[in-house]
Structure 1
């Protein structure tokens, strides 16, 4: 079972435990640097845009991938989404189908596929092969989910997503902190998206000449849920973000339960949650990603509440990404 996100990662100053783990963070950073230096990215004949993050989980990149795919499709592109597929074991590309199980292709892949009718979603650890398969199936733009540290496939535009409230945390590399790379690598992306609520300023490590966007999201619940108590649960990187969004929507939370990120729900988990909900006369609600991992027969007993993003800002991000693609094709930086 995966551990929950450590609270000390987001302390204002590194704690003693973080300092004790810092040498392991240095080793992790060296491994990332070595892997990048010895990778030879392959380039495909269509544009590749990646959405990723420099921190581990919880930034809201999956809703942005979905919204960007919708926006780019509206602009006439035939988009395909490529991702590793959390928990998927296949190296070879697999096109995600609506009847696939989360255990086979990953919860994020199912969330994207079911949110994007008409957009092909491919999983597999070899995303260069996945991209080639997507192009053969008709794609003319590839959207790479969680691609900022993926060196096998060359990209034309990197979008980095950072949670506005939590920011860079204690600014240390995993396991001492939440960073996947040293903080000075934030600026190698082309666009920065500060997602969610909060007052955190533009990070000082982000170059002034590069675009930075503030993207907010909210939950639009069914009207019937506004008049009844809810028991909210989720297994995401930063579960408090989901609970805060529910409160922001003026929903009545009888209780909240957090699980580790990508928690594989068993029937026993849902039975315990349902008993607790019944004690409060409450309805079970969760994120769209968590809903993909529910045991068979539980989908009709739990309400999934997706995050709605500001469409105007998403359109601005898409325009900036396309401008970057145009600059690359013109041979400028």
Structure 2
């Protein structure tokens, strides 16, 4: 099943980001999808009991949403608000009952991104297939404000503020709606959100003319997976860069920008890693924090280094969010 999913994802990534004009069959299906998508552009999602800030995108896959959620949680915590995070829990065995993610949880149960957020933000993280139930659980637990990692298109989630994140390296792909392209919704959806953020491409090529306020993804202090002790990344030794995120090229571009020598091993997003396959690599491995939460339980790996990243958001991006929360809670 995992191999089929991997091949499936690779095929569509080639179709969406390397093929400018998909075949007629794919475009016909996109036309049907588009009729439904356009009808829901102005959907009324309802008013939540407290401020709910949805950080999503209009394309399939990642684009920097989780680092943005982590950065916003830090800003809101510093301002004195009790913050909770909610997630669908992709890659985990989630249910229709919300549950709180604990730092020692298994990513196979809760998903890799919720576990990473639970460990790094200091905020309660709630997971449920029905994000609306996760939202209510968060407020019942005492949250003043809820951040949703993804969920822009989730009909059952009331929200008060929407943020759309665009990946500058990928843009909107071939510009087609699903399944011919990566767009979940037409680009016109951007006119309805409160804030558009554009993740800078770093060392990789970028798509020009994209809307939104630019922000950078910055590497942090690397550490060893085995004992979480900080390490200096070797500049004179080849590494095996193992990456299972939506756009592995962004991770490889960061490593190249740091002047590292490495061999690329890209995997699909939320990939379930196999210890035998990774043990055959020469090493040392270098991985993202998102992948690290899944690798720490595997045995027999070469020395593994973890490179965390953070979203550096400009004040012009964080200020509207802080003002929204203040205004919501004062009315």
- Measured after TM superposition, the shift of residue 165 of structure 1 is 2.0
Q: Retained in 2: the 8 A contact 1:285–1:302?
A: yes
1:96 and 2:101 matched: yes
Alignment of 1:1-333 (within 5 A): 1=2, 2=5, 3-4=9-10, 6-11=13-18, 14-17=20-23, 19-32=24-37, 41-86=45-90, 87-117=92-122, 119-197=123-201, 199-203=206-210, 212-220=212-220, 221=222, 222-253=231-262, 255-271=263-279, 275-277=280-282, 282-294=283-295, 296-298=297-299, 301-311=303-313, 313=314, 315-325=315-325
SS of the residue 2:285 aligns to = strand
Q: Retained in 2: the 8 A contact 1:265–1:295?
A: no
**Inter-partner Cα distance in structure 2 for 1:201 and 1:67:** 25
> Residue by residue, what CA displacement relative to the aligned partner does 1:114-170 show, whole Å, maximum 9, x if unpaired?
1112x1000001222211211121100000110211121221110000011211111
**What's the TM-score once normalised by structure 2's chain length?**
0.85
**What's the TM-score once normalised by structure 1's chain length?**
0.84
Q: Retained in 1: the 8 A contact 2:50–2:329?
A: no
**Inter-partner Cα distance in structure 2 for 1:133 and 1:124:** 10
Number of equivalences: 310
- Measured after TM superposition, the shift of residue 310 of structure 1 is 2.0
Q: Retained in 2: the 8 A contact 1:157–1:325?
A: no
- Measured after TM superposition, the shift of residue 26 of structure 1 is 2.3
> Residue by residue, what CA displacement relative to the aligned partner does 1:185-220 show, whole Å, maximum 9, x if unpaired?
2222111101022554443xx5xxxxx310111324
- Measured after TM superposition, the shift of residue 83 of structure 1 is 0.6
- Inter-CA distance 149–68: structure 2 relative to 1 (3 Å threshold): same
SS of the residue 1:49 aligns to = strand
**Inter-partner Cα distance in structure 2 for 1:53 and 1:30:** 19
Q: Which runs of 5+ in 2 are unaligned?
A: 223-230
**Inter-partner Cα distance in structure 1 for 2:159 and 2:22:** 39
CA-atom RMSD, angstroms?
Answer: 2.5
**Inter-partner Cα distance in structure 2 for 1:224 and 1:89:** 36
Q: Which runs of 5+ in 1 are unaligned?
A: 207-211
